[in-house]
Structure 1
């Protein structure tokens, strides 16, 4: 196993364990200094890891051909429209859907992950 893949898998496992701990702390409404520091630290680590992942995908995507980038952008666009329509339909069942810039964050992240996530663990970016 490549060293970069091992580090990425280890970080992913730590992020999942951290998410479980944060969910437990929030669910039990633990109001201690440790819980606040842990949650703030977890959010910072999550943000830095997300930026690192986006940077890594961007660097590896530079080696793709125009046709491969076009295919991935088409896949991204289709997933984005699909998830946006699903989110709009579900939110309209709850009441009046309020559309804002933050409304599209979840469909954007899911679409980006589905279209470009295979670039994270590849040494050479070929599709």
Structure 2
């Protein structure tokens, strides 16, 4: 894959140009850190964009200590995630926005490789 590049767009003309150093620095300062979590047994989870479909909702994925990668295929794992935490060994909790205009929050639990993501029990 190539290197990430930043561009600025002139709102009046619609023309794009590569971002200058000050613009790139301002963007980096505003960047939101990625959602990520790690369990005590070495599972790492994160939310990532779908590379071949840039308009698709981001996907929840994990990588085991041995390098195996698993994506969560449940609809609840696609888009809307606003929080991600380890939940004991080999399990994660994630908070996502959903409902009308994504105005509600729901907490889900996911044990990669064993269970589909499901609403967490209170």
- TM-score band w.r.t. shorter chain: under 0.3
Higher relative contact order (CA 8 A, sep 6+): 1
Higher strand share: 2
State the TM-score, normalizing by the size of structure 1.
0.25
State the TM-score, normalizing by the size of structure 2.
0.25
